């Protein structure tokens, strides 16, 4: 009898083990995915309740919601952040106007995205490499680019480090580790992946951050960049400024998924979505993102939700495609104002200082502006430089040709404005 | 052990029974003419075909430069044309690696790595597939230094890609896209004619401070064999090479077409008693105007031949410049013998290419102009 029962028990145990083994060993063995079987047929669809929430530290009034999330920043740093945001605003005011007056050919403002730019760059090391799109001048402001730097580039004068080669706002600064911008969108993303890979191999401890907008994220280069960064394990932060518009195209015409952050799992990457109008949230987010990238040598996708208060550029009048009320609502919700209230509650800023700083910074900007306007453009021969490291025989001949032409027809060219 | 197996593999490939199969189903239109002149550098040589010579060049670059990396589709196991065979085992998976299947990614990644200080050698599996990367190559790589006022550059980038007719490649495995890239200031475009040239030119491209596109005529990978110097050597970019001196007609070509022209020169001598000077352009951009024009001023007659279609093929640039510089020396209009203005066809390849017969006929016409 005992023998019978022990046999039965053994059989049950055996069956249990067998069924566990089946579950374990019977998993699909396809090389393409690591997953389980199902006998249920259904369409897998994303639900809105699963949308990634927006991380914030400050509420609408600029009050810290959870003090454990308040970053421990020194008063110097906090004031530098605020001053950078306001300097950026003032510079935008003056340069936008100067385009309207025909003094520079083109400009793009940063209104509404001050916290996105300054909050993110403040969380990185000074030598982390930046690949930007075009609405990130605040990154350079925070890193210490003098006002002259911006003015000279916009005027394309002889002091422009870019040597007058590109339209205004196409900044580049080697000392500040900011790769020169280009107009084609999103091309910087796979480049950022490559640079990060090179840094990883060089073991120099640097990470790369690359900025792009909600529209730019539709380009093929976005897909290429994230897929490469994930498969090749590159320490790069993909930072999306989701500001609601790509010129006139609103986000609901740009994508159907849950913003940009939701694409990360598709690449096997992590993502964080934050309130781009909350400087402290952006700061904390990028601080964590940098730690993650640098410790794991893996990429990460950050999506900062914000709003483009200004027009796309001086060639755009956004009232043509969005209501004035929408613009003024977001203008009032200003990240600069929110951060200012936060500083004031900490006793780090005041109405008095606001007035004197505004006056001071406006003067600084106007001085730099007037100075830059008077600097001549680079010598016309520089047009031929930088195509290659050295001029080719063909280019040398073309220089001679133009030289000879100018000897006879120079009066018809604006030579007086050039060095 | 690996080397013994590899040698056996190459040995088998060279056996006549394989060659016979190759000729019957996949005819090629030329006879390879190995370099017999003094090699570019003295020292021990080794018999290599073009993919082996390219492999040597890449090996040398990776050995001498710790920052050097080579990547692209299927590069890790050796590459679909064996150009990267054995390199991953020798230099490690972080330096010789596969990328996802995405040419715009390969180009962008390469540009970024180069800009960040790494010597980046990017492989595009076929030149026919370079076009998704066109924006990165033309709008970014070519303009990186210029647009930044010299602050940034991607000179450490070399893009290499198999190109041109292979006998059966048809529309998407036979293209010669040099003209598209030659139209882009800021790039250098190079096409070797054989193993010795390939090794020296590729090493120059890798070392060159500007982004280079190295187009490798794929039919030459196995067909072309030469005694290649074992050591590292550099053939200067921007310099054409006169292969066969002559004084009646100048024949200009690059890549595979050089061998067609060498044969045409022989045939012209024997059948027409015409002395032809054959020039291998080697670098398409920047091209060696002086060597070509010097020859044309001597002969007064010039034929440019290339596989790529006629209209706006690189021959058009040569023709325009030659007639500009050598107008008074010309005895006949500049002639181009090229692929027709059609996409590259499959079954009609023998009719499409600028064959030795079409070139010979052009020689006959030009001397009788």
Question: Shortest CA distance to B280 belongs to which of B314, B260, B252, B247?
Answer: B252
In 3D space, the residue among B152, B267, B196 whose CA is nearest the CA of residue B48 turns out to be B196
What pLDDT score was predicted for residue B23?
A: 46
Cβ-based neighbours of A296, under 8 Å, separated by 6 or more? A235
Q: How confident is the model at residue A15 (pLDDT cuts 50, 70, 90)?
A: confident
**Residue A301 in 3-state DSSP?**
strand
Q: How far apart are the first and last CA of chain B?
A: 61
Size of interface A-B (CB pairs under 8 A): 165
CA B221 to chain centre: 11
The DSSP-derived string for B73-111 is TTTTTT-TTSTTTTHHHHH-TTTEEE--S-HHHHHHHHH
> Which among B59, B173, B259, B306 is annotated as catalytic?
B173
- Choosing from B103, B140, B216, B263, the catalytic residue is B103
Looking at the complex, report in whole angstroms how far the Cα of residue A175 sits from the nearest Cα belonging to chain B.
9
Query: What residues are paired with B329 via a beta bridge?
Result: none
pLDDT at B37 (0 to 100) = 85
Nearest to A187 among B95, B140, B188 (CB): B140
- What the block records as the tokens of A174 is 């080697």
Of residues A98, A313, A318, A334, which has the active-site annotation? A313
Distance of CA A35 to the CA centre of its chain: 35
Cβ neighbours for B308, distance < 8 A, ≥ 6 positions apart: B175, B176, B177, B178, B179, B314, B338, B339
HSE (CB half, 13 Å, CA atoms) of A125?
A: 12
Alpha carbons A329 and A347: distance in angstroms, whole number: 27
Contact B112 A174 (CB under 8 A): no
Q: Which two tokens stand for residue A280?
A: 């402290």
pLDDT at B343: 98
Is A180's CB within 8 Å of B185's CB? no
Closest CB from A160, A163, A201 relative to B94: A201
Q: For A287-331, what is each residue's pLDDT tens digit?
A: 999 999 999 999 999 999 999 999 999 999 999 999 999 999 999
Q: What integer pLDDT is reported at residue B270 of this predicted model?
A: 98
Higher pLDDT, A218 or A25: A218
- Name chain B contacts of A192, Cβ cutoff 8 Å: 112
CA B260, CA B255: separation in Å to the nearest integer? 10
How do B283-285 and B188-190 pair as beta strands? antiparallel
Q: Is A375 exposed, middle or buried (0-12, 13-18, 19+ CB in 10 A)?
A: middle
Among the options A84, A311, A312, A334, which is catalytic? A312
Strand partners, A272: A302
Backbone dihedral region for residue B180 (phi beyond 0: left; psi -120 to 50: alpha; all else: beta):
alpha
Query: Could A182 and B155 be called an inter-chain contact, meaning their C-beta atoms sit closer than 8 Å?
Result: no
Assign 3-state DSSP to chain A and report helix, strand, coil percentages, each to 5.
50, 10, 40
Chain A CA closest to residue B290: A393
How far apart CA A44 and CA B202 sit, in angstroms, is 50
Distance from CA of B92 to the nearest CA of A (A): 12
pLDDT value of position B21: 44
Q: b vs e for A342-369, b when ≥16 Cβ sit within 10 Å of the residue's Cβ?
A: bbeeeeebeeebeeebeeebbebbeebb
The answer to whether the CB of B234 falls within 8 A of the CB of B198 is: no
State yes or no: is B216 an active-site residue: no
Per-residue pLDDT of chain B (369 residues; tens, 9 = 90+): 556 555 655 555 555 555 544 445 567 899 999 998 889 999 999 999 999 999 999 999 999 999 999 999 999 999 999 999 999 999 999 999 999 999 999 999 999 999 999 999 999 999 999 999 999 999 999 999 999 999 999 999 999 999 999 999 999 999 999 999 999 999 999 999 999 999 999 999 999 999 999 999 999 999 999 999 999 999 999 999 999 999 999 999 999 999 999 999 999 999 999 999 999 999 999 999 999 999 999 999 999 999 999 999 999 999 999 999 999 999 999 999 999 999 999 999 999 999 999 999 999 999 999
Residue-averaged pLDDT of chain A? 96
* Alpha-carbon dihedral sign for residues B70, B75, B77, B81: negative
- Quick count: other Cβ atoms within 10 Å of Cβ A287? 16
Cα distances from A316 to residues A171, A199, B29, in angstroms, run: 21, 39, 58
Helix (H, G, I), strand (E, B) or coil at A357: helix
Measured between alpha carbons, how far is B225 from B50 in angstroms, rounded to an integer? 7
> Structure pTM?
0.94
**Closest alpha carbon to A202 in B65, B109, B155:** B65
CA distance B159 to chain A (A): 14
Distances (CA, A) of B286 to A389, B8, B210, B216: 13, 41, 12, 17
Alpha-carbon distance of B132 to B150, in angstroms, equals 27
Q: Which residue does chain A place closest to B122, by CA atoms?
A: A194
Tell me if A139 sits within 8 A of A304, measured CB to CB.
Answer: no
- Cβ of B186 within 8 Å of Cβ of A385? The answer is no
Q: Are B171 and B345 in contact (CB under 8 A)?
A: yes
Out of A192, A231, A386, name the one closest to residue B149 (CB).
A386
Annotated active-site residue B59? The verdict is: no
Per-residue pLDDT, B20: 46
CA distance A25 to A154: 65
Q: Does A354 score more than 90 pLDDT? A: yes
The C-alpha atoms of residue A289 and residue A300 are separated, in whole angstroms, by 7
């Amino acid at each position: 009898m005992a023998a019978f029962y022990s046999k039965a028990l053994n059989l049950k145990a055996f069956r249990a083990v067998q069924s566990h083994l089946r579950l374990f060993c019977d998993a699909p063995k396809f090389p393409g995915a690591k997953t389980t079987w199902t006998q249920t047929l259904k369409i897998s669809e994303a639900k809105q309740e699963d949308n990634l929430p927006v991380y914030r530290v400050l509420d609408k009034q600029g009050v810290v919601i959870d003090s454990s999330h308040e970053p421990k920043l020194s008063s110097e740093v906090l004031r530098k952040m605020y001053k950078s945001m306001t300097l950026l605003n003032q510079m935008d005011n003056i340069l936008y106007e100067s385009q309207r007056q025909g003094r520079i050919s083109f400009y793009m403002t940063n209104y509404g995205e001050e916290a996105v730019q300054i909050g993110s760059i403040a969380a990185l090391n000074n030598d982390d490499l930046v690949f930007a799109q075009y609405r990130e001048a605040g990154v350079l402001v925070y890193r210490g680019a003098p006002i002259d730097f911006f003015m000279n580039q916009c005027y394309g004068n002889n002091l422009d480090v870019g040597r007058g080669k590109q339209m205004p706002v196409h900044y580049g600064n080697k000392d500040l580790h900011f790769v020169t911008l280009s107009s084609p969108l999103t091309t910087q993303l796979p480049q950022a992946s490559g640079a990060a890979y090179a840094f990883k191999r060089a073991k120099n401890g640097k990470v790369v951050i690359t900025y792009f907008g909600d529209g730019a994220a539709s380009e093929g280069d976005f897909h290429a960049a994230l897929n490469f960064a994930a498969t090749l394990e590159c320490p790069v932060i993909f930072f999306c400024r989701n500001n609601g518009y790509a010129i006139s195209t609103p986000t609901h015409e740009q994508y159907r998924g849950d913003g940009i952050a939701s694409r990360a799992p598709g690449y096997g990457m992590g993502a964080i979505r934050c309130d781009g109008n909350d400087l402290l949230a952006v700061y904390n987010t990028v601080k964590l993102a940098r730690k993650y990238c640098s410790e794991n040598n893996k990429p990460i996708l950050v999506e900062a939700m914000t709003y483009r208060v200004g027009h796309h550029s001086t060639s755009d009048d956004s009232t043509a495609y969005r209501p004035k009320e929408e613009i003024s609502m977001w203008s009032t919700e200003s990240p600069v104002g929110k951060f200012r209230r936060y500083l004031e509650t900490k006793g780090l800023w005041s109405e008095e200082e606001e007035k004197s700083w505004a006056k001071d910074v406006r003067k600084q900007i106007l001085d730099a502006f007037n100075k830059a306007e008077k600097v001549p453009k680079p010598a016309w021969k520089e047009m031929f430089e930088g195509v290659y490291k050295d001029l080719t025989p063909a280019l040398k001949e073309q220089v001679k040709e133009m030289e000879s032409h100018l000897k006879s027809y120079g009066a018809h060219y604006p030579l007086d404005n050039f060095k | 052990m690996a080397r013994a197996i590899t040698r056996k593999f190459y040995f088998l490939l060279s056996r006549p029974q394989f060659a016979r199969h190759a000729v019957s189903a996949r005819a090629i239109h030329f006879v390879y003419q190995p370099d017999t002149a003094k090699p570019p550098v003295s020292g021990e040589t080794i018999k290599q075909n073009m993919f082996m010579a390219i492999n040597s060049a890449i090996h040398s670059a990776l050995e001498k430069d710790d920052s050097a990396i080579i990547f692209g589709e299927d590069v890790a196991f050796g590459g679909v044309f064996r150009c990267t065979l054995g390199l991953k085992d020798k230099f490690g998976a972080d330096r010789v690696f596969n990328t996802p299947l995405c040419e715009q990614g390969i180009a962008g990644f390469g540009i970024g790595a180069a800009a960040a200080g790494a010597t980046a050698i990017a492989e595009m599996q076929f030149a026919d597939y370079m076009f998704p990367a066109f924006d990165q190559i033309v709008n970014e790589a070519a303009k990186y230094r210029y647009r930044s006022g010299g602050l940034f550059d991607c000179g450490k980038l070399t893009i290499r890609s198999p190109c041109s007719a292979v006998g059966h490649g048809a529309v998407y495995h036979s293209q010669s896209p040099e003209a598209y890239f030659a139209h882009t200031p800021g790039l250098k475009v190079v096409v070797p004619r054989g193993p010795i040239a390939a090794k020296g030119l590729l090493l120059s491209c890798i070392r060159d401070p500007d982004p280079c596109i190295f187009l490798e005529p794929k039919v030459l990978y196995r067909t072309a064999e030469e005694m290649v110097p074992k050591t590292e050597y550099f053939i200067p970019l921007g310099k054409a090479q006169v292969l066969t001196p002559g004084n009646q007609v100048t024949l200009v070509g690059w890549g595979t077409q050089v061998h067609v022209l060498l044969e045409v020169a022989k045939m012209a001598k024997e059948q027409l008693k015409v002395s032809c000077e054959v020039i291998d352009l080697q670098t398409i951009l920047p091209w060696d105007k002086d060597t070509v024009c010097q020859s044309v001023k001597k002969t007064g007659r010039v034929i440019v031949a290339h596989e790529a279609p006629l209209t706006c093929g690189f021959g058009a640039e040569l023709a325009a410049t030659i007639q500009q510089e050598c107008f008074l020396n010309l005895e006949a209009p500049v002639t181009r013998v090229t692929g027709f203005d059609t996409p590259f066809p499959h079954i009609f390849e023998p009719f499409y290419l600028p064959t030795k017969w079409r070139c010979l006929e052009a020689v006959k016409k030009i001397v009788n102009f």
